Structure 1
Amino acid sequence: IDSCYKAGIKDFIVTGHSQGGGIAFLLTAYLYHLQAGNKIPGDIRFKTYCSAGPKPGNLYFAYDYENITRGGWAYNVVNSADWVPDVPFTVQTVDDFTAVNPFRHANAVIKKQRFPKNLILRHVYNQLSRPSKKAQRRYQKYLGKMMSRSVKKQLPGFVIPAYYQSNYYVRAGNTVVLYAGEDYFKLYNNDPGNPNIWEHHLPKPYLFLAEKLP
């Protein structure tokens, strides 16, 4: 960026497909926050085109990302038949809501109810809230802690990060949907038994659908 800026280039495109799309989300957010901190020039403009990008973060990341890229400066192009934009696995718990919400003081409200209403409400509330919290802990255990230990074996210098207690991933930015219709499925196999899990994810099917955009 420094050398391009010195050469008079102030407009940059950030792009990536699949995992590269996920990285493009994160890089864009990072660059904008560097800019907000006056670490890169304020007159530089970034425009981001992700394709087949996975869900990059939680709701708070999405709000921040959509705020800093407002005005049409960030897009994620997805094939409606592609499974990759559906990952990572997502679990929303009562702890994932914004600060002011009806669930934050649920335990205190239930405790104030008369017997046996308080017991019934407590049972119902636990039945609704505990499964998602348990699932979140399991995802963190297997996809976070255990996976990190495997990475560390290959990269001894890798430092396992502290985990944010959430597995609530959402889409971010402006989504351009490449809608797969009948003509598409005549060319690309959508049978659940199809062993080619990348059937709808590679650039060729994306290009086929993109060429049909108005």
Structure 2
Amino acid sequence: MNSFKQYLVAAVAALILVGTVSIDVIAQSYRFKPGFDSKECDESYLLNAAFLDTTAKNSFPGFLEGYTFMYRSAAIGLDNVYDLWLRQDSTVIITLRGTTANAKSIMADFYCAMFPAQGKITLEQNKPPFAYKLATDTKAAVHAGFLISFAFIAQDFQPRLEELYRKGYRKFLVCGHSQGGALCYYVSAWLMQLRKDKVYPGISVKTYASAAPKMGNVYFVYDYDNAMHGEWSYSIVNTADPVPEMPLTTQQLEIDMNTPNPLVNLAKRFDDLPFFKRIVLKHAYNSMRKKARKSSEAYQKYLGGYAGKIIKGMQAGMVLPEPVKTTYFLRPGVPITLSENEAYRDHFKSAPNYFHHGFDAYRYLLRQYYEGLPDMKKQ
């Protein structure tokens, strides 16, 4: 009998030891750190795919090994939804849904005015304004439609962030695809500014923004990339995908370039040239400068002013900042360029239109350039 008890105790101890080792192995495979991690990136696509499941109150049990579902927001603002997941290493994953078929969501994409990267927005009637800060540079500006979407998300997320911080969570991984990819930059920039202003000291923020359209001006990009130190935020692009090439963009000399600038005063240097050369070069210079300005003004009129009226009509009581007169859109983050190749073209030869923008296209190309990822068919 004693020998049986000893055997039983030894067996239980062995099971506990194996379980502990298994947990340790899983925890070690997820380690929050700077640098691009293809496995981490690939799993962000799987987590974003959870948005395709709109089952009410789905808790996603066993959805992805090493991850536990925490929360899904209601559809808020411009049909925006975000999920919270907890990874085995105590990293909080924030996933942001991309564009939907809802008219509000589509208008968020097309509202291409630029607003200052710090300020206030009144989102709803009889509600206090939401104060936001996405950059320290006062020249930084961001895409208007995405800013509105972000403000709704941040306003909903802030009390949950407060609770997570109070419970000791300090590591945040922000992930999104398409419009969700653009929103990643807003959320991660906001978190970084909250850390800088000592609202949430000690937090670390990492970002995988996939298939994101351009969303900020050059000064926002400078500010954001400086804050991320070139190793905490990644822009993943399929070179065959048209969405990262949007929106249309025009650079103006007087607004979108640092001063003093030799190009701005270039016309004065023509004064020393012979008469005919001076006339020809001044005409060409002024023509290019005016056409860039007119192009930008047209974008601001139609994709700014007109689109803004539609958005305001959809959201009663909304009060927005004064727009910045620029349409020079760029995208921050360290580029992870996934170039289409022969294998990719052959694999997707019978795919539908716009397949280049989908999760599967990005995950397939990720496997073309990074080793050690599991077979997509097995997931």
**TM-score, normalised relative to structure 1:** 0.88
Partner of 1:128: 288
1:32-47 matched pairs, under 5 angstroms = 32-41=192-201, 43-47=202-206
Contact 2:239 2:337 in 1 (8 A): yes
What is the aligned-residue identity percentage?
35
Amino acid corresponding to residue 199 of structure 1 in structure 2:
F
Q: Secondary structure at the match of 1:136?
A: helix
Q: Is 1:93 equivalent to 2:249 in the alignment?
A: no
Partner of 1:84: 243
Partner of 1:57: 216
1:195 is displaced (CA, Å) by 7.2
Amino acid corresponding to residue 145 of structure 1 in structure 2:
G
Contact 2:230 2:333 in 1 (8 A): no
1:112 is displaced (CA, Å) by 7.5
Partner of 1:9: 169
Q: 1:184 aligns with which of 331, 344, 348?
A: 344
Q: Is 1:48 equivalent to 2:204 in the alignment?
A: no
- C-alpha distance in 2 between matches for 1:141 and 1:188: 39
Amino acid corresponding to residue 203 of structure 2 in structure 1:
I
1:162-181 matched pairs, under 5 angstroms = 162-181=322-341
Amino acid corresponding to residue 183 of structure 1 in structure 2:
A
Contact 1:78 1:175 in 2 (8 A): yes
- C-alpha distance in 2 between matches for 1:64 and 1:110: 35
Q: Is 1:141 equivalent to 2:264 in the alignment?
A: no
1:108-127 matched pairs, under 5 angstroms = 108-110=268-270, 118-127=278-287
Contact 2:218 2:330 in 1 (8 A): yes
Contact 2:194 2:200 in 1 (8 A): yes
Amino acid corresponding to residue 83 of structure 1 in structure 2:
P
Contact 2:165 2:200 in 1 (8 A): no
**TM-score, normalised relative to structure 2:** 0.51
- C-alpha distance in 2 between matches for 1:101 and 1:119: 22
1:107 is displaced (CA, Å) by 4.7
1:65-76 matched pairs, under 5 angstroms = 65-76=224-235
- C-alpha distance in 1 between matches for 2:230 and 2:247: 27
Partner of 1:211: 367
Amino acid corresponding to residue 127 of structure 1 in structure 2:
S
Contact 2:234 2:336 in 1 (8 A): yes
Contact 1:148 1:160 in 2 (8 A): no
Q: Single out whichever of 13-22 and 97-106 deviates more from structure 2.
A: 97-106
- C-alpha distance in 1 between matches for 2:352 and 2:299: 26
1:6 is displaced (CA, Å) by 2.0
Instruction: Let me know the Cα RMSD of the aligned residues.
Output: 2.1
- C-alpha distance in 2 between matches for 1:117 and 1:81: 43
What is the CA deviation profile of residues 114-170 of structure 1, one whole-angstrom value per residue up to 9, with x for unaligned ones?
Answer: 756554333121122111111000000000000011112211222243221111112
- C-alpha distance in 2 between matches for 1:100 and 1:25: 30
What is the CA deviation profile of residues 68-117 of structure 1, one whole-angstrom value per residue up to 9, with x for unaligned ones?
Answer: 00141001111111111111111112121112211232355456777565
Give unmatched runs, 5+ long, in structure 2: 1-160, 371-379
More RCO (CA 8 Å, sep 6+) = 1
- C-alpha distance in 2 between matches for 1:22 and 1:46: 16
What is the CA deviation profile of residues 37-57 of structure 1, one whole-angstrom value per residue up to 9, with x for unaligned ones?
Answer: 22222x110001111111121
- C-alpha distance in 1 between matches for 2:208 and 2:361: 17
Amino acid corresponding to residue 134 of structure 1 in structure 2:
K
Give unmatched runs, 5+ long, in structure 1: none
- C-alpha distance in 1 between matches for 2:271 and 2:326: 26
- C-alpha distance in 2 between matches for 1:113 and 1:160: 48
